[in-house]
Chain A
């Protein structure tokens, strides 16, 4: 017979592992933020960074030259935090989409949601509906929802059972949105708008500033909290939707709430950074290797790990070819495509 101490041992192992992993990744994220700010053309020390931040937060007053203060507070910090928010959000969205669509290849980018959001943002600029973050986010959100609805419509009712159809539909819709974005930008023939095509289609954190963060960070906070609240329900999807329903999950409601939440999150992130691919695909798989598939561990860790990962990829993007900047989406694709192929192979081998 099973004794109570055995049960306690398993429970403690589960809880202890979770706490250790969370501490590790939280420390890693804090370290990444601090360290990434120091990297760049102007040499800054961690001490300087700390003094500036403490000064602005009113913790301590420091004496840092105005230029350096400006570089830390107005340029690097918002950019690094922007990368963290975008990475965290994309990774969380990917993890949720992979479970809800029961498709290990799901990711906001592959499902066409990111491209739809880009098109929406581009349309807002071109039609002169506004240039503020709110207007762009609104356009991006509309675009994301329309693209997602289109993917669901094309994939059809069997979407839950035919993951490949969803991916193919997502790729088709994504290509269509990208083509329309290019078309609109070239048609308008405004040199400024043309320049922004690279930004919207391959993603960059160059525009991340405090205004953008003021939108994106609270959105991430609210939606991440919502998603974390569904961790246990998401676990129940392991053996499919019907099994989840027999475990007491209101599958229809859960799925729609989470799909709309991830579309909203993706839209706001795209308004900050353009469409960045593969982070949402790769991070959940990498983290699952460490935490296992339990969403109560996976989701918090994937948010922290996604943030740290994006900070370092963006740091590489802005420094590798100084003074030119590489679109960060180009780098994530360089990492992501081989990882995607590995996943595809493993999936076929598993069958």
Chain B
């Protein structure tokens, strides 16, 4: 279980996170929503322990993240970023084996157990047989699935996803989130696409200008009124068997009060 309590963070010019409090219960998938610049990525960085919060604290399984040594934190949390890029000529298997880095068993070689875990993770993201494929020959969707396999190989308690579907077509977006869901790991995912969030998340947390403005199940939170207030869009919400489906109307006037990028 992940608990974020009263977390604030600021840069000299602006307050990026303002007393954010939320909980990700064990086994659930929580979506972090909000317009560009609302603080989603910063919150994920704080949760991952990459930056220390100014005030408040993040705890995972009762332990404060900021106090964990990096290697310990990396055994408990894995991060899947928007976009992974490398100049190196790595194979998919080598990328997945990077997930064993925090589990240093041997300095010099990866053990049979490491290889077994890595190959099993490739199976779990439906990429069996891709072990020897070179990273630069993979499509965007395959790359993100390899990165997901790498994250699974870390054997984390918590997955942190930072808009992992941004560069993918709709088929690969659905597939990736389906695989995350199927992995059954407690997940906090920053998402742009509200319909994806509605489809896959147990709970959504909406951030606006660094503050939590709504929390709850997608059907309760994603209302036309909230979307108008937070995103400045004219949306229509239809109910498909208890799951909200959002469609948008073109803006009549420029969206009011939307913060720049």
Contact = CB atoms under 8 A, between A and B. Distances in A.
Contact of A247 (B69, B98, B113, B120): B98
A10 interface: yes
Interface in B107-159: 107-116, 118-120, 122-123, 128, 131, 136, 154
A145 to B, nearest CB: 27
B116 to A, nearest CB: 4
Contact of A238 (B88, B99, B120): B88
B86 A238 contact: yes
A7 B101 contact: no
A8 B115 contact: yes
Interface in B72-118: 72-75, 77-79, 81, 84-91, 93-95, 98-99, 101-102, 104, 107-116, 118
Interface residues of A, number: 37
Interface string A237-266: 011101101111110000000000000000
A287 to B, nearest CB: 12
Contact of B99 (A14, A242, A247, A293): A247
Contacts of A231: 107-108
Given A11-B112, A347-B87, A232 B101 contact: yes
A286 B220 CA distance: 59
Contact of B98 (A2, A6, A236): A236
A292 B73 CA distance: 29
A249 B69 CA distance: 9
Given A15-B109, A232-B104, A235-B98, A6 B89 contact: no
A223 to B, nearest CB: 17
Given A232-B101, A238-B88, A246 B74 contact: yes
Interface residues of A, dominant DSSP: helix
Contacts of A18: 109
B70 interface: yes
B48 interface: yes
A1 interface: yes
A294 B94 contact: yes
Nearest to A4: B116
Contacts of A246: 48, 50, 74, 77-79
B10 interface: no
Q: Which of B79, B99, B101, B102 has the most CB of A within 10 A?
A: B101
A78 interface: no
Nearest to B103: A248
A248 B101 contact: yes
A31 interface: no
B71 interface: yes
Given A245-B70, A248-B73, A248-B102, A239 B109 contact: no
A231 B107 CA distance: 8
20 contacts: A2-B119, A7-B115, A7-B118, A11-B111, A18-B109, A233-B101, A235-B98, A236-B98, A238-B95, A242-B50, A243-B79, A243-B84, A246-B48, A247-B101, A247-B154, A248-B71, A248-B74, A248-B102, A292-B91, A293-B94
Given A238-B86, A239-B86, A247-B102, 11 more contacts: A2-B116, A2-B119, A11-B115, A232-B104, A242-B50, A243-B81, A243-B84, A248-B73, A248-B101, A288-B88, A292-B91
